[in-house]
Amino acid sequence: MRTLVSLAALALAPGMALAEAHATATPVEYGPRPAYLIDKLPDGDLKDKLASCMGQDASKSDFSIGHRGAPLMFPEHTVQSNVAAARMGAGILECDVTFTADHELVCRHAQNDLHTTTNILVSDLAEKCTTGFTAASGNTPANAECRTSDITLAEFRTLTPKMDSADKTATTAEDYQGGVANWRTELYSDKADLMTHAESIELFKSLGAKFTPELKSPSVEMPHDGFSQEDYAQKLVDEYVAAGIPASDVWPQSFNLDDVLYWVENTPEFGKQAVYLVEWSDGFDEQNPETWKEDFADLKAKGVNYLAPSLNMLMTNKDGAIAGSDYAMAAKEAGLTLIAWTLERSGPLASGGGWYFQSISDVVKDDSDYLVALDVLAQDVGVVGVFSDWPATVTYYANCMGL
């Protein structure tokens, strides 16, 4: 297996050095987790089919999408997290895109997450945060808010990434750095490297992966110092054009329908694969059209081809078993291509699976239901891709099922 080659340097020096470091095909390995989940499945056709593939050659699949890389164990949106995802066979990788004070695009899940995903609160940049650290007191949890828009790109580069976490009981900024979920790990956080959006493009290209950048909602009022929402959406596309990436390899995403329609109307080649993200909200009933915010026919008429709902919107409890929801079937019947997010982000499923599995929590029993849900999404709902915090599971399934 190829080892990581001076990743700290590569993160700051994209282009030839980065491409040369991963010039050969990225080897794909499943690791122990897919087999572990298969072993937990109850006896039946799904277990038999997946077990029959134990000896298969591992290969990359576009059905497998790295969600922020592989953040179940690696700090999200880092070089290392995405290299790990590629080595698990994720054929498509994600950079969540936001911007700095000088309007440079960087990979962060939110514009205002630096206080939980980096060491900014214990660095010299802490004083630049929108809201500095406030210690926990009585029933009031510890708090802070640090945005990429609080600092320049040069300052962003000085930060050290960490697992996304915060100790809400902390009385010091140092203690606030903790709070990592007990089903994640800090074993792979040492010397991880942040990325700009342009650097992510070079890295993903060198790994042989395709691209699904998400334009994140700004925490600042737009336009920001003359930088409009349209400028923001256009700059994302421009960086793929500058890197010579064909539009057919890019699936730009946004929760903001106006962003998706901007790409459809102004960058039509990229707009063909623009993804409209939607998520469960209060009052949503996956079986009741009166609660759906989306008008599927109208979306298609406006040129939207891809819809990416959260997992809980796509599945339901049907006679005590996980099944595709009426919402999912209606969207598919309207001609929308579906993508699901996010598998293996809930930790152990013994307690029902939390937010992502809330529509089926009463039938979720243990971690093997990750595979049951994945099978329903692929075979019944017909999604074309699944985001995961640990892409090996989705890759294994896709390879076994010939997706």
Question: How many domains does the structure of the chain reveal?
Answer: 2
DSSP string, 237-266: HHHHHHTT--GGGB--EES-HHHHHHHHHH
Q: Are residues 157 and 301 in the same domain?
A: no
pTM for the full model? 0.94
Nearest to 113 by CA among 66, 75, 70: 75
Q: Where are the alpha helices (DSSP H) in 243-340?
A: 257-266, 268-271, 296-301, 311-314, 326-333
pLDDT 10s digits, 24-64: 568 999 999 999 999 999 999 999 999 999 999 999 999 99
Verify that 240 and 128 share a domain, yes or no.
Answer: no
Please indicate, yes or no, whether residues 73 and 31 belong to a single structural domain of this protein.
yes
Statement to judge: residues 136 and 283 lie in one domain = no
Longest dimension (CA), the chain: 60
Asked which of 143, 176, 209 is the last residue of a domain, the reply is 176
Query: Residue 252: pLDDT above 80?
Result: yes
Identify whether residues 133 and 221 lie together within a single domain.
no
Residues 149 and 55 in one domain: no
Across the range 113-141, mean pLDDT stands at 98
- Same structural domain for residues 168 and 304? no
- 234 and 135, same domain (yes or no): no
With 50 as the cut, is the pLDDT of residue 66 above it? yes
Whether 135 is in a domain gets the answer yes
Claim to verify: residue 166 and residue 281 sit in the same structural domain? no
pLDDT in tens, 276-290: 999 999 999 999 999
Using the 8-state DSSP alphabet, how is residue 120 labeled? G
**Do residues 181 and 132 lie in contact, with contact meaning Cβ atoms separated by under 8 Å?**
no
User: Hey, is 104 helix, strand or coil?
Assistant: coil
Q: Does 291 fall in a domain?
A: yes
Between strands 143-145 and 131-134, the pairing is antiparallel
- Quick: pLDDT tens for 309-355: 999 999 999 999 999 999 999 999 999 999 999 999 999 999 999 99
Q: How far is CA 330 from the centre of its chain?
A: 25
253: CATH: 3.20.20.190
Q: Please report whether residue 385 resides in a domain.
A: yes
Q: Is residue 107 part of a domain?
A: no
Quick: pLDDT tens for 133-165: 999 999 999 999 999 999 999 999 999 999 999
Summarize the confidence of residues 349-370 as an average pLDDT: 96
Structural domain of residue 259, as residue ranges?
A: 7-95+195-401
Q: Looking at residue 272, what is its pLDDT? A: 98
283 and 153 in one domain?
no
Looking at residue 37, its pLDDT comes to 98
pLDDT band at residue 11 using 50, 70 and 90 as cut-offs: very low
With 60 as the cut, is the pLDDT of residue 225 above it? yes
Residues 240 and 346 in one domain: yes
Asked if pLDDT for residue 2 goes beyond 80, the answer is no
Q: Which tens digit of pLDDT belongs to each residue from 374-385?
A: 999 999 999 999
